[in-house]
Chains A and B, each alone.
Chain A
Amino acid sequence: MRRRAFAASMVGLGCGRSKQPKLNVFNWSGYVAPETVPNFEKEFGVKVRYSIYESNEEMLARVFSGNSGWDVVFPGHYIVPPMREQGLLAALDRGKLPNLKHLDPAFVRPELTDFAVPYMWNATGILFNKKLQPPPESWADLWSPRLRGKITMLDDPAEVFAAALRKLGFSLNSRNPEELRAAQREALRQKPLLRAYLNSEVRDQAVAGDVMAAQLWSTTAQQAIDAARHLGFVYPREGFPLNLDCAVILRESPRQDLAHVWINYLLRPEVSARIADSTRTATANLAAVPLLGAETRNNPTLYPSAEVMARAEWFETMTPEVQRLRDRLWTEIKSA
């Protein structure tokens, strides 16, 4: 008896139904404008369940099984090929995405086509307090003893190794064990100077003045700069990593058509521009750029000049062997 009631409640939760079509969207926090979802719901008569996550890993753990219930998620570009290999992604129907034509060709990367639509992008650089004279301009400045206890690095092996590898003049996607070990030695040398390894939490402390220089993502840094005029951001001389977040449709989704409608809606230049303006990010939608507010469009942190972009390097998907070596080296750094 009790068991039957229990089973019934599970079924009820599994396929609760209402007349209005539903769409389940799982995105990074702070990645749409306040009106993006309501406008879509109104225009298409759809109920969107919109939830947020904070890291690629968190999202992956949820969707890995292939029965998570989500329809559209937004992985970083280097997560897309593995997700595709795991059979998690549905192939896109280009016929249903006429707005693809608005995309910036610079972001249409071959490994993404057919499975992922570029959404917003960001890069990693240094957020610094302008009291710091001369201001930092290279990764090497984060190794400077004059800043002892006032520097933070990201709590992310890919980012810390990227900075150390570029500082040494290597590619940030280096697969060479010797180069990775050299980078580890750099990181170990830097650790005593560090205040902490922090991600977005550092924003607050940079504003309050606890931290003088921090390795940080451009969009997060921009939020700090908007709040505090005494902060600046620089793309290091040695080169820096680029990351592109993409919209993908999960293969498990029973609402493929609606998911395409949603992505096509996000690709509208005016929608994309509103999102970029409101969340202070950089859109991968070329047609949206002229629609941006001057504040966003002319911002050198969000939209660095072509000259700066020449130093950028895309993160690539790692092989399992390199991944394992890097994690081992990272564990040694963290427990030193």
Chain B
Amino acid sequence: MIGIYAFLHVPLLILCGFSFNSSKFTVWEGFSVVWYEAMWNDGALAEAAWNSLVIAVASTAVATAVGTLGAYGLWKKNAKLLSGSMYLSLVTPEIITGIAMLATFQWAFRYLHLQLGMTTVILAHVTFSMAYVLLVVMARLRTADPALEEAALDLGATEWQAFRLVTLPMLKPGIAAAALLAFTVSFDDYVITALVAGVDSETLPMVLYAMARRGANPVVSAISTVIFVGLGLLIVVSERLQKA
């Protein structure tokens, strides 16, 4: 287990180390925090990080709700076209999803006189993360016993009560895992986002991409360190708080 966790974390820890390098390149020259100052003073970066967070939270919330309801709906009432489309959207190369959505938005907006922006990015993210949610929740539903809900109905529960009190609690870990996955794919997406983003909706991956594509950039390492260490601490602290 330690080996697998090391495989996951060591590469990024090395990257974190390089963020304290005074050289712009990956040759160690000495300890320095100049890249953190550069990061701190970069307004565009802060805005992009904020945009990414807003987009990821909003799209995760919508995608998890829509996807969970959809998975439940599909549980017995088979809609081949819908579930087929879900799989299809998973096998679509990202660039195609992006181009296709861009074309749709542009076509629709030409008549509405609107421009690409945060809303289009969120809509796109909901669409592609919904398929992930659906798949994960369905995997869990498949191991569920429909008889439980039927029993609840026999005992006089309404459909809604049966769903809310019997099935939903049972689905919780699946939903949590799905939401986590949705958040991750949204926060991380570059290809689709870059295509449907507008003037006011640059995301963190877009800024990082533009910076890093020119070669290892210590500012990029610094941001990653902040995300990595910051979220790491958050995870550990929240764990402690729950225990206390």
Residues of A at under 8 Å CB distance from B? 9-11, 13-14, 16, 24, 29-30, 49-54, 58, 61-62, 65, 67-70, 199-204, 207-208, 220, 227-228
Contact = CB atoms under 8 A, between A and B. Distances in A.
Contacts of A220: 214
Given A14-B117, A58-B194, A204-B26, A70 B199 contact: yes
The B interface, classified by DSSP as helix, strand, loop or mixed, is: loop
Contact of B115 (A9, A14, A53): A14
B164 interface: no
17 contacts: A14-B114, A30-B214, A52-B210, A54-B210, A68-B198, A69-B117, A69-B200, A200-B213, A200-B214, A201-B216, A203-B214, A203-B215, A204-B216, A207-B25, A208-B27, A220-B214, A227-B23
A226 B113 CA distance: 48
Main secondary structure of the interface of A (DSSP, over half): mixed
Contacts of B24: 227
A207 B27 contact: yes
Given A29-B211, A30-B214, A58-B194, A10 B199 contact: no
A65 B102 contact: yes
A202 B199 CA distance: 30
A208 B198 contact: no
Interface residues of B, number: 32
A62 B200 contact: no
B34 interface: no
A53 B199 contact: no
B195 A61 contact: yes
A201 B215 contact: yes
B113 A62 contact: no
B26 A68 contact: no
Interface string B102-126: 1000100110111111110000000
Contacts of A61: 99, 102, 195
